């Protein structure tokens, strides 16, 4: 550990690493975009980008819209896209009839995002996409790299990823492919909440408990459900996370439909 690191606390180190990754991506990939789910992690990501690039994001922010977000999420998007001065792309995702009919019902709704992402890649010719996924969210995401190459069809091959030792990143991109960039990969759920508290980052209010329920992971209506909780403040949420045994994605129906549902989605380009 360097003498500088000794004077940084844990959140400072995570922030510094993420900003370093964002600036590396900006230098090494010409046509960058950022995917904004409107959830807590991607809000932290936008916050970090504003710090990395002196208050203004130098690339567009894409919300892949299924038309099934909660009203509170749309209100949040419209308010903060303007307040943060975002160059917002809000193209609609293709209809469910275009998804793989062999997928379970909830997973098919989520698969619309993969199709929407493929359409955005073709339309805007992104060669790099910044996302807010974390390793501790889901077992398949734990296998990811910070700079993760995708094939011509957007597919991800977990067994063929470049090594990343000592913050040395490999970005080898062939024509027609793109690289996913994951600045929050090393963060945990409680890291995110402690950073939100420290930085006073705004959130969709559905994360805070009402009538004994709150959303811990926020997605679309019909495939995302609140979990039991009385945590109505950030401090109470942090306390809850330090003791709960409930998984973060317990309220995501697609995670419970089939053992391999998430892996099938990710292999075809899902986040």
**Cβ neighbours, 10 Å, residue 1:** 7
Give the model's pLDDT for residue 139: 78
Which pLDDT belongs to residue 172?
74
Residue 2 has pLDDT above 60, yes or no: no
Kindly give, in sequence order, each residue whose CB lies less than 8 Å from that of residue 94, ignoring residues fewer than 6 positions away: 112, 115, 116, 119
First and final C-alpha spacing in the chain? 32
Residues 131/135/141/146 CA torsion (nearest 10 deg): 50
Q: Which domains does the chain have, with CATH numbers?
A: 11-188 (3.40.50.620)
Residue 174, sorted as left (phi over 0), alpha (psi -120 to 50) or beta, turns out to be beta
pLDDT of residue 189: 97
Q: Are 206 and 72 in contact (CB under 8 A)?
A: yes
pLDDT of residue 46: 98
pLDDT category of residue 7 using cuts at 50, 70 and 90: low
Q: Phi and psi for 48 in degrees, rounded to 5? A: -65, -40
Q: Which residues are within 8 A (CB) of 271 and not within 5 positions of it... i.e. 6 or more apart?
A: 35, 37, 113, 117, 131, 133
Q: What is the DSSP letter of 191?
A: H
Q: How far apart are alpha carbons 268 and 156 in whole angstroms?
A: 7
- pTM (2 decimals)? 0.89
The two tokens of residue 118 are: 């493929």
Measured distance CA(212)–CA(199) in Å, rounded: 27
* Across 165-187, average pLDDT: 86
Q: Given this model, what pLDDT does residue 268 score?
A: 65
Summarize the confidence of residues 197-212 as an average pLDDT. 97
The more confident residue out of 256 and 62 is: 62
- Contacts of residue 20, defined as CB under 8 A and 6 or more positions apart, other chains included, come to 167
Query: What pLDDT was estimated at residue 266?
Result: 67
Evaluate if residue 208 carries a pLDDT over 70.
yes
Share of the chain above pLDDT 70, in %: 91
Closest to 178 in 3D by CA, of 117, 134, 263, 89: 117
Least confident of 60-74, 89-103, 189-203, 223-237: 89-103
Give the burial class of 247: count Cβ atoms within 10 A of its Cβ; 0-12 exposed, 13-18 middle, 19 or more buried.
middle
Q: Is 143's pLDDT higher than 90? A: no
Return the beta strands (E) in 96-151 as ranges: 128-130, 147-150
Pair 260, 253: CB distance under 8 Å: no
Give residue 38's pLDDT band: very low, low, confident or very high (50, 70, 90): very high
What would the pLDDT profile of 145-174 be if each residue is shown by its tens digit? 999 988 777 777 777 788 787 777 877 777
The pLDDT of residue 257 is 67
Q: Whole-angstrom Cα distance, residue 184 to residue 25?
A: 13
- Average pLDDT of 59-84? 96
Is the model's pLDDT at 239 over the cut of 70?
Answer: yes
Question: Residues 222, 223, 226, 232: what is their CA dihedral angle, to the nearest 10 degrees?
Answer: -90
Residue 142 contacts residue 265 (beta carbons within 8 Å): no
d(CA 103, CA 254): 10
Residues 86-139 have pLDDT tens digits of: 999 999 999 989 988 888 888 888 888 889 998 999 999 999 999 999 999 877
Residue 228 pLDDT:
94
- Is residue 5 over pLDDT 60? no
pLDDT of residue 247: 86
Q: Rg of the chain's alpha carbons, rounded to an integer?
A: 18
The answer to whether 217 touches 251, Cβ cutoff 8 Å, is yes
Q: Residue 258 has what pLDDT? A: 64
């Amino acid at each position: 550990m360097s003498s500088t690191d000794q004077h940084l606390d844990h959140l400072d180190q995570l922030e510094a690493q993420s900003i370093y990754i964002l600036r590396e991506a900006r230098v090494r990939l010409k046509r960058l975009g950022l995917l904004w789910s409107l959830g807590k992690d991607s809000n932290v990501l936008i916050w970090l980008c504003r710090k990395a690039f002196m208050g203004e994001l130098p690339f567009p922010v894409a919300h892949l819209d299924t038309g099934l977000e909660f009203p509170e999420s749309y209100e949040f998007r419209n308010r903060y896209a303007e307040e943060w001065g975002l160059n917002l792309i809000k193209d609609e995702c293709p209809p469910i009839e275009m998804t793989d009919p062999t997928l379970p019902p909830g997973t098919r709704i989520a698969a619309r995002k993969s199709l929407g992402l493929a359409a955005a890649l073709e339309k805007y010719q992104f060669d790099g996409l910044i996302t807010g996924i974390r390793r501790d969210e889901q077992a398949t995401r734990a296998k990811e790299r910070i700079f993760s190459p995708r094939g011509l069809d957007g597919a991800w091959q977990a067994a063929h990823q470049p090594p990343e030792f000592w913050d040395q990143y490999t970005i080898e991109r062939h024509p027609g492919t793109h690289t996913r960039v994951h600045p929050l990969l090393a963060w945990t759920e409680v890291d995110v909440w402690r950073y939100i508290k420290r930085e006073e980052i705004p959130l969709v209010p559905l994360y805070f408990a009402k009538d004994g329920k709150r959303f811990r992971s926020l997605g679309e209506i019909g495939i995302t459900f609140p979990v039991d909780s009385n945590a109505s403040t950030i401090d109470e949420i942090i306390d809850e996370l330090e003791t709960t045994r409930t998984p973060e994605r317990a309220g995501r129906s697609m995670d419970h439909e089939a053992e391999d549902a998430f892996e099938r989605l990710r292999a075809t380009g899902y986040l």
